[in-house]
A and B are shown apart, each in its own frame.
Chain A
Amino acid sequence: RKEVEQDPGPFNVPEGATVAFNCTYSNSASQSFFWYRQDCRKEPKLLMSVYSSGNEDGRFTAQLNRASQYISLLIRDSKLSDSATYLCVVNIDSGGYQKVTFGTGTKLQVIP
């Protein structure tokens, strides 16, 4: 089983739709979680951190479910500019052991 797994998509959604992505992780010692956005041929850019209590930034909502070991990203009222690949990132930091693992990404295409 991969340490971090994402559905590669593509998710093709119409403008204005709500779309959700999940990312599952295998190591229960995972400590911090992030969502990044990557446009074609560009660097990943931090979208938001994921907190235990869940957090929202405008149209974006991130949630963490430690019991089931997944994080989610919800995008409401999708815009054409939301078209990108969304990467989840999981940090393990346990004593002297630290590892950052990126998912392979979920591609979103918002259609006019």
Chain B
Amino acid sequence: DAGITQSPRHKVTETGTPVTLRCHQTENHRYMYWYRQDPGHGLRLIHYSYGVKDTDKGEVSDGYSVSRSKTEDFLLTLESATSSQTSVYFCAIARDRVYEQYFGPGTRLTVT
């Protein structure tokens, strides 16, 4: 299995609070991605990174920010959580942009 961990694995938070999810890899892959998965929508890309300090938006980036200060860590921040951000969040890594992606175990976030 690819060396990807996500923390926390589960979180319940209140509307309006900031939340940071962490993705950590030991594979030294250049590309890292954050997705959310919701019933009926499949996996949707939030943000991705193609190197340290190099990030770009995905299709559902509103309300989210990311940072990548080290190759191995990619952080996803919800500045002010809303109930619509209740979801399962997956991190993924890839050697290059058209290569296969490997996923972390996911974080279940509930915003009450």
B40 touches A44 (CB 8 A): no
B101 touches A43 (CB 8 A): no
Residue of B nearest to A103 (CB): B42
The answer, among A31, A42, A44, A105, for a CB contact under 8 Å with B98, is A31
Min CB distance B105 to A, Å, is 5
Q: Is the contact region of chain A dominated by helix, strand, or loop, or is it mixed?
A: strand
Q: Is A100 in the interface zone, CB < 8 Å from B?
A: yes
Q: Is A53 in the interface zone, CB < 8 Å from B?
A: no
Q: Is A32 in the interface zone, CB < 8 Å from B?
A: yes
B97 touches A98 (CB 8 A): yes
A104 touches B103 (CB 8 A): no
With A and B bound together, what is the CA distance between A104 and B43 in angstroms? 7
Q: A43-B103, A44-B103, A45-B103 in contact; A104/B98 too (CB < 8 A)?
A: no
Q: Is A7 in the interface zone, CB < 8 Å from B?
A: no
Q: Using Cβ atoms and an 8 Å threshold, which residues of chain A touch B70?
A: none
Q: Using Cβ atoms and an 8 Å threshold, which residues of chain B touch A103?
A: 42
Q: Is B90 in the interface zone, CB < 8 Å from A?
A: yes
| Chain B 42-73 interface residues, beta-carbon cutoff 8 Å to A | 42-45
B45 touches A104 (CB 8 A): no
Residue of B nearest to A32 (CB): B98
Interface 1/0s, chain A 84-111, versus B by CB < 8 A? 0001010101000010101111000000
Q: Is A46 in the interface zone, CB < 8 Å from B?
A: yes
Residue of B nearest to A91 (CB): B98
Q: Using Cβ atoms and an 8 Å threshold, which residues of chain B touch A89?
A: 101
Residues of B within 8 A of A (CB): 33, 35, 40-45, 90, 97-106
Residues of A within 8 A of B (CB): 31-32, 34, 42-46, 49, 87, 89, 91, 93, 98, 100, 102-105
In the assembled complex, 11 residue pairs joining A and B whose CB atoms fall closer than 8 Å, in A order, are: A34-B100, A42-B105, A43-B104, A43-B105, A87-B43, A93-B97, A98-B98, A102-B44, A104-B40, A104-B41, A105-B42
